[in-house]
A and B are shown apart, each in its own frame.
Chain A
Amino acid sequence: MTTESVTGALKKARSGVGVGGSGRSPSSRERKRQFTHSRTFTLFVLPSLILLVLLNVYPVVYAGMQSLRNGDLLSAGNFVGLSNYISVVQTPAFLHATLFTIIFTVVGVFGSWSIGLALSLLLRTRIPANGLFKVLLLLPWVVPVVVSATSWNWLVATPQSPLPIIADALGFGNPLFLADPLNAQIVVCIFKVWISFPFMMMMMSSALASVDVNVYEASKVDGASSWQTFGRITLPMISRSTYISWILMTIFCVNDFPSIFLLTGGGPVNSTQTLVVLAYSTVFQNFQTGPGVAIAFIMTIVLVIISVLLYRQIRKVNIE
């Protein structure tokens, strides 16, 4: 075996030659065989790739084209460029929907995260029927949202519903939970937190399980209080999972159509209308596909920006 530098050996390895090899490059027959293999591989993958493109890429491209036209559900319409985007962002309905989407998302993300984290910390303690509680607490997330929304409608919609009766009995009068715009917004946000906290609870449970218990023991030895342990050990150590869950829940909240549409339809008087509900009603109720799809694309761009910003935060946490 000849003595050679590391650089030389690496160079040979990159050109496909082992240590002690002859140094001759692979023959053309070898290259041709590899090319045939690549082509075969590509041809086998192609049908799946075509299907993927047809089902995912084509609708997005077609929707993009629709957003540049003034058609409806029956006809493509004429090309109008970016005027749909410009006109949509100037409408009061869009501005209101944006504001409520932000409120709904902030409440949904942080409300569900807080409750999910609190419950996951509680479930780590020794309480009776711990396993049963874990299952029951998952139910709001597991039950289809159609069922949940119908149940909540039954709970609050009419003066004869259970919650208004309880509120009246407690001296709060007869509140209109869904017919009053402010109350409807509150109900919708609470509903979102209620169906989302189990997801956060699961995310935080798995994050907490990955924290080394020795760290807690060390902190006890150092005399750290519970709050200090929580604030300076637990939270930082689960921060990566926290940011990921925030990204996911932000996307879930912004894109959440059924929760709002089934509970209030975006009403009363558009008070609970988020951007996704506005996009739906613009396309399927008002038959304005261009502006409706433009709203959807604007939402997508904003979501991508938020996701990128939060993802950078995750990378910062990794590096630290």
Chain B
Amino acid sequence: MHPTTNHGRRPLRAGGGWKGTVMASQSTGSSFSRRGFLGIAGSVAATAALAACSSGGGAGGSSKPLKFWNMPWGGTEFNPTDKQITLAYKPKNGLPAAKYQEIQWANFTQTFSSAVASNTGPAVSSGGGTQAFQFAAQGKIAYADNLLDEWKKNGLYDDFFDGLVDTMKTDEGYAAVPYNLDVRCSWYNKSLMEQAGVESPKTWDEYRNVCAALKKIGVFGFGVGSGAGSFTGSHILTAFMINNGGGLFNADKKPDCVTPENIEAMEFILDLVKSGYSDPAAATYTSDNVQAQWKAKKFGFGWDGAGLPSGAVGDVAADLVVGDPLESPSGKKGGLYFPNNIMMYKNTPSQKGSEAFLTYYYKNMSPLWTKKTGIGLPPLKSIAATPEFKSNPNNVKIVDEWQPIFKTWAAPGTTGLFANIANTVDGTAPMITFAQAILGGKTDAKSALTTLQKSMEGLMK
């Protein structure tokens, strides 16, 4: 069938002598007309649209499987192992089975927000560290209080590290359950430390002396980065504030940065920077640059996540040792960690089903650590007690010596995380700018903290 070839213009000869028009007229003689074709096409389109609309419906009966969305928390082995665990779930009668989906980190906020908003999201998922609290503020989260009460009865609750579950507590209830721990701790190259004639420091004064000794052999003692895509610098500065009994938020969950404890901590850091113990280019170091400096043996002591030896540090990996928590001048110890978590949503085929699945998952998720899939530290003592986990002495040290002193972004005011953390400090521009200003060494502690507080206040909801 030919569309009109005169494009709607009137024919220039009376009677319409266009070949195309004549051919179109001839086509109406067949049983399959234009009208017929359009009718069939419209029916197909309407059927497809109806099918699409009906597939995204709200919570139905328990015959629908519940969706479990998980992020790539480890290496290439992580999600296949995780999927195996999920699909091996055999629910009790009447409860839904679980369906697994891996969600990439790229644009994950948009993925979750559009899915949750359109009621096509998961029943259970992991995600960003403060995601559960943001969704809880919008009424999308099913609180885990009931689940945790069950876990108190079956012993699972007591298997969590002390204080860990409380990081998930909000005024309305527990927004999620802890899943894996992303930590920030100190690392040192034992060969370089031996060469400098120093041992792992235990106080801030000892740390300053270690930095001075390392400088004599041409190595930096405050190894950190805060460049494009690297938030570790701002994490470490916050960790030092927490170490000194300070932090970013008060008990009312409002920004409270310009405190004596924080000023003392930042003045200590600025002293390290101005003394040349920090790499002058560190303010713009990406994670790759930081690892390159460790590999080039330019960092003798530094601060990073638990996975530093697994990064591109080359042969130095075997020499890397977790340092000891430092005691601040105020006699306190502390650090910063990010308890990643699993949350339940109100949009579920069965809330009982979600809770039953999570109970199964937590009882069976130890292979994610024992098979060395690359996931962060475990939340459960039983997993930390496995021979496979204990074969890594650095991880054992983090769990034994650092985990008990870790605090969250909410410190010092509260323990539990809350929604405003996501838009004020967690990977935000003010925190990056703050870290780059301190690591650049061209500011003073009070000014930098004042600027940070004002920026955070501007971002509060």
Q: Does A37 contact B (CB under 8 A)?
A: yes
Complex contact B14–A41 (CB within 8 A)? no
Within A224-246, which residues are at the interface with B (CB < 8 Å)?
none
Whether a CB of chain B sits under 8 angstroms from the CB of A315 is no
B440 touches A269 (CB 8 A): yes
Known: A157-B284, A270-B433, A287-B423. A265 touches B229 (CB 8 A): yes
Contact pattern, B 358-374, Cβ under 8 Å of A = 1, otherwise 0 = 00000000000000000
Q: Is the CB of A265 within 8 A of B227?
A: yes
* A261 contacts across to B, CB distance below 8 A: 228
Interface string of A149-164 (1 = CB under 8 A from B): 0000100011110000
Closest to A157 in B: B289
Nearest Cβ in chain A — how far from B119, in angstroms? 14
A267 in contact with B281 given A38-B8, A41-B8, A75-B138 (CB within 8 Å): no
Closest to B7 in A: A41
Whether A287 touches B284, Cβ cut-off 8 Å, given contacts A33-B21, A158-B289, A267-B432, is no
A286–B286 CA distance with the chains assembled, in angstroms: 20
Q: Please, how many angstroms separate the alpha-carbon atoms of A33 and B288 in the complex? A: 69
Q: Which residues of B contact A159 (CB under 8 A)?
A: 279-281, 298
Q: Of B8, B109, B428, B433, which contacts A267 at CB under 8 A?
A: B433
Q: Which residue of B lies closest to A287 (CB)?
A: B423
A16 touches B227 (CB 8 A): no
Q: What's the nearest-Cβ distance from chain A to residue B305, in Å?
A: 19
- Which single member of B25, B109, B227, B279 contacts A264 (CB below 8 Å)? B227
In chain A, what residue has the closest Cβ to B455? A286
Give chain B nearest CB distance to A175 CB in angstroms.
10
A49 at the interface (CB under 8 A from B): no
- What's the Cα separation between A176 and B429 when bound, in Å? 22
CA distance A74 to B110 in the complex (A): 8
Give the residues from 8 to 24 in chain B that come closer than 8 angstroms, CB to CB, to chain A: 8, 10-14, 16, 21, 24
Asked if B160 is at the interface of the complex by the 8 Å CB criterion, the answer is no
Q: Verify A179–B284 contact, CB threshold 8 A.
A: yes
B188 in contact (CB, < 8 A): no
Within 8 A of B (CB), among A19-37: 21-22, 24, 26, 30, 33-34, 37
CB contacts (< 8 Å) of B285 on chain A: these are 157-158
With a cutoff of 8 Å between Cβ atoms, the chain B residues found around residue A281 in the complex are 429
**B340 interfacial by beta-carbon distance below 8 Å:** no
Residue numbers in A under 8 Å from B281 (CB-CB): 157-159, 176, 178-179
B134: chain A residues at CB < 8 Å are: 72, 74
A298 to B10, CA, bound (A): 45
Distance of A313 Cα from B3 Cα, bound (Å): 41
- Closest beta carbon of chain B to A281's beta carbon, Å: 4
**For the complex, is A130 an interface residue (Cβ under 8 Å from B)?**
no
Q: Which residues of A contact B116 (CB under 8 A)?
A: 74
| Chain B residues near A158 (CB-CB < 8 A) | 279, 281, 285, 289, 292-293, 296, 298
Note all chain B residues with C-beta closer than 8 A to A33. 16, 21, 25
B38 touching A37 by the CB < 8 A rule? Answer: no
In chain B, positions 421-437 with a C-beta closer than 8 Å to chain A are: 422-423, 427-430, 432-433, 436-437
Task: Check: B283 CB closer than 8 A to any chain A CB.
Answer: yes
* Among B226, B227, B281: residue with most chain A CB under 10 A: B281
Which of A34, A184, A264 has the most chain B CB atoms closer than 10 A to its own CB? A34
Which residues of A259-294 are within 8 A (CB) of B? Answer: 261-270, 281-282, 284-288
- Residues of A near B282 (CB, < 8 A) are 179
Cβ of B43 under 8 Å from chain A = no
Interface status of A51 (Cβ within 8 A of chain B): no
Residues on B with C-beta less than 8 A from A172 are: none
Apart from the given pairs A40-B38, A287-B428, A288-B423, 16 other A-B contacts in the complex at a CB distance below 8 Å: A18-B13, A18-B14, A26-B10, A26-B11, A26-B16, A34-B10, A37-B6, A74-B117, A153-B289, A160-B292, A174-B280, A176-B280, A184-B284, A267-B284, A269-B440, A285-B428
Q: B residues within 8 Å of A by Cβ?
A: 3-4, 6-8, 10-14, 16, 21, 24-25, 34, 38, 109-110, 113, 116-117, 134-135, 138, 226-229, 279-286, 288-289, 292-293, 296, 298, 422-423, 427-430, 432-433, 436-437, 440, 459, 461
- A contact set with B: CB distance below 8 Å: 13, 16-18, 21-22, 24, 26, 30, 33-34, 37-38, 40-41, 43-44, 72-75, 153, 157-160, 174, 176, 178-179, 184, 261-270, 281-282, 284-288
Per CB-CB distance, the 8 closest pairs between chain A and chain B, nearest first, are: A265-B228, A37-B4, A287-B423, A179-B281, A16-B10, A178-B284, A281-B429, A74-B113
